[in-house]
Amino acid sequence: MGFNTQLKFVDLLGCMCESWVIYSFWYLRWSVYWKSIVLASLHNGYSEHEKLLLILRRFYYLYWIAGKTLSKVKQLSFNLIKWVKENKSIEFIENEINTKIKADNIINLAKDNLSSEDIYNTAWSKPLLLLIEYGITDDSKLSFIELSKDLHLEHILPKKYKSFPEWDHITDEVAMDWLNSGGNLTLLSGKKNIEASNNPFDQKINVYRGKGKYQDKDTSITAFEMTKQIVSDFEQNKYNKEWTEQAIEDRYDWFCKKVEDILNISCEDE
């Protein structure tokens, strides 16, 4: 079958597979390449297909987060198609990928970007949080989350924190360090995000719980598990029902641990 037909076949396959690993591929750049490798694996009945998916996901996400362009992954992508067709062992493929990752210093570059004071304005921040969301969602509730205008990155400590006395415990120095970091971002639907916006923490919690002014249209707690955790901490009086520097630091540690699990890297030195 033709190349476009092959890609449509992979699209269909991805829609049919209730797997968060498969879902995580749909946010990636360079889709022609990863789709071609996956198709080659399926077409040739590659015995280590599931492990190959994990290795591929790690490879492409690390290069994306590290800030690399297509030129850095193109040749290896062609090689991967060839190796899969030749039924090279998964150990061989993983070793070749790891060798290139090391040669390009990708791990350190990715870790630098992940620990940046501003991941909010990166193209990969929302997809990465979606990968974390999939990882903490019960399989029975698993469904694909589309990258759309209705999906927002929510600043828990708001950008305009100075507008409310309830945020007086946050210094400018703390805000500068943490506002756009992985410790202060979560996922929220469009209407809830618009309403939560720049408000005191307790008002944000009410919005997360579906008790804002849109309650006649959306009375449910946010569907995102990572945001439900914030509500749960509030209800348990953790951090005295405030979003403090300690809360942000703890959230950042949680974020790092989830990223470590997904990308198989250690962020301890960060």
Q: Across residues 118-127, what is the average pLDDT?
A: 97
Angle at 188 between CA 158 and CA 270, to 5 degrees: 65
Q: What's the average model confidence in pLDDT over 131-139?
A: 91
Distance CA 242, CA 258 (A): 24
Over 50: is that where the pLDDT of 229 sits? yes
Please give the biggest Cα pair distance in the chain: 65
For the chain, give the mean pLDDT. Answer: 89
pLDDT at site 1: 43
Q: What SS3 state is found at 127?
A: helix
Three-class SS state of 241: helix
The pLDDT score that the predictor gives to residue 197 is 78
pLDDT tops 80 at residue 269: no
Q: Are 170 and 245 in contact (CB under 8 A)?
A: yes
- What is the separation, in whole angstroms, between the first and last Cα of the chain? 48
